[in-house]
Amino acid sequence: MKNLIDILDITTEEIDALIDTANDIIENPGKYNEKCRHKKLATLFFEPSTRTRLSFEAAMLDLGGSVLGFSESNSSSASKGESVSDTVRTVGCYADIIAMRHPKEGAPLAASFSAGVPVINAGDGGHNHPTQTLTDLLTIKRECGRLSDIKIGFCGDLKFGRTVHSLIMALTRYENVEIVLISPEELCIPQYLKDILRSQNIKFTETRTMESVMSELDILYMTRVQRERFFNEADYIRLRDTYILTPEKLEDAKKTLCIMHPLPRVNEISTEVDVDPRACYFKQVKNGKFIRMALILKLLEVK
C-alpha cells in the first residue's frame, strides 16, 4: 500500500490489518505515542472540512509526529493558479505524508503521481472518502464483532451520500451482508449501485420508513436529508420527519443495535437518542482518529 485513494484499491486483508492495528492502538496508546517522531503530515485542504482535518492532525500528533498544511476558505481559489501536481511536488519536499481534500474528483489520484510521498485521499468532491469508510468498518467491527453476517440499514439521503455509496461498495466484499435502503423515492441509491448489488448477489431491500425494518437491523446508518436536495420546501418538510430518529422509533430495535452517523448531524437524530447506549456516532468519531493513526503507520512503514 503506497497511497490510499479509493477503498477498493486495498484488499480486505489490508483492511483487517488496519483494523487490528487500530484496536491495538486503542488498547495500548502508550506504545504508539513516539512512533512518528520527526515525521511530518501535511494536510492540504483545497476545500474546508474542519472535522476531517482535525481528525488527521490529531492522529499524527498522537503518534508523536507534527503537522503542517493549509485550508482554503473557498473552493474557487483552488481552481486558479498552481496545478495540484506542482503543489504536492513542492509539499512532498517538506512532508513525509500528505492528506488531501479537493473539490475535484480524482485530484488525490493525480496528486499521488507527482507527490513522491504517500497521499491519502481525505475526500475528493462527491467521489471518494476512503478514511470515512475505514472509520465505519472499524466501528462496525468493534460494535458487532464482525464485518460479515450483518444486516445494515441505510437511512436518509442515499442518492447523493457518497459515504453511503463507499460503505456499501466496501461491504459487498464480505460474506452474507444484507442491506436495507430506507429513503424517500426521490433520494434512493443510484441505479448503478443497484446493478452492482444485483450482479454480486447481495441481498438488498428498499423501504420508505425505518419503523418497518427496525427490529431486524444490526446496524442503522443515518445520514442527513438536506433541504437543497428537494425541489420544493413542502416536500422537504413532509419527508424530513419520516427520517428523523427518535427514541420512539427505536422501541422495537435490537438491544445490540449499533446506530451510526458520519456527522455532522442537523436534526436527523434527536438529541434524546445520544444517551442510548446503542448510539455509536461519537465513538465513530474517535474510531476515525484511531484508524487514521493505523493508516499513517502503514503508509510510512513504521513498525
Partner 1 sequence: MNIDPINNGIVIDHIKAGNSMEIYKFLDLDNVNSTVALIKNVPSKKMGKKDIIKIDKEIDINLDVLGYIDPDITVNIIKNGVRTEKKHLELPSVVKNVIKCKNPRCITSTERGIPHVFKLTDKENRVYRCMYCESSAKETV
Selected from 53, 102, 141, 292, the binder of partner 1 by CB under 8 A is: 102
Selected from 16, 34, 105, 274, the binder of partner 1 by CB under 8 A is: 105
**Interface with partner 1, residue 20, by CB under 8 A:** no
**Interface with partner 1, residue 84, by CB under 8 A:** yes
Q: Give 146 or 198: the residue with its C-beta nearer to partner 1.
A: 198
Q: Determine the 3-state secondary structure of 149 from DSSP.
A: coil
- Separation of alpha carbons 107 and 217, rounded Å: 37
Backbone phi and psi for residue 53, each to the nearest 5 degrees, phi listed first: -65, -45
Burial class (CB in 10 A: 0-12, 13-18, 19+), 198: exposed
138-152 core/surface letters (b: 16 or more CB in 10 A; e: else): bbbbbbbeebeebbb
**Interface with partner 1, residue 168, by CB under 8 A:** no
The span of 79-87, 89-97, 164-172, 224-232 binding partner 1 (CB under 8 A) equals 79-87
Inter-CA distances, 192 with 104, 132, 199, Å: 21, 21, 10
**Interface with partner 1, residue 99, by CB under 8 A:** no
The active-site residue out of 129, 141, 261, 289 is 129
**Interface with partner 1, residue 106, by CB under 8 A:** yes
The active-site residue out of 2, 31, 51, 203 is 51
Q: Give 94 or 113: the residue with its C-beta nearer to partner 1.
A: 113
Q: Does residue 219 contact residue 260 with C-beta atoms inside 8 Å?
A: yes
Inter-CA distances, 183 with 65, 70, 267, Å: 42, 37, 16
129 is catalytic: yes
Q: Give 52 or 128: the residue with its C-beta nearer to partner 1.
A: 128
Nearest to 170 by CA among 216, 131, 219: 131
Selected from 88, 98, 107, 219, the binder of partner 1 by CB under 8 A is: 107
**Interface with partner 1, residue 125, by CB under 8 A:** yes
- Separation of alpha carbons 54 and 289, rounded Å: 9
Selected from 51, 113, 190, 203, the binder of partner 1 by CB under 8 A is: 113
Total Cβ atoms within 10 A of residue 160? 15
165 is catalytic: no
Active-site residues, by number, are 51-52, 80, 101, 129
Given the rule CB under 8 A, which residues bind partner 1?
A: 79, 83-85, 102-107, 109-110, 113, 124-127
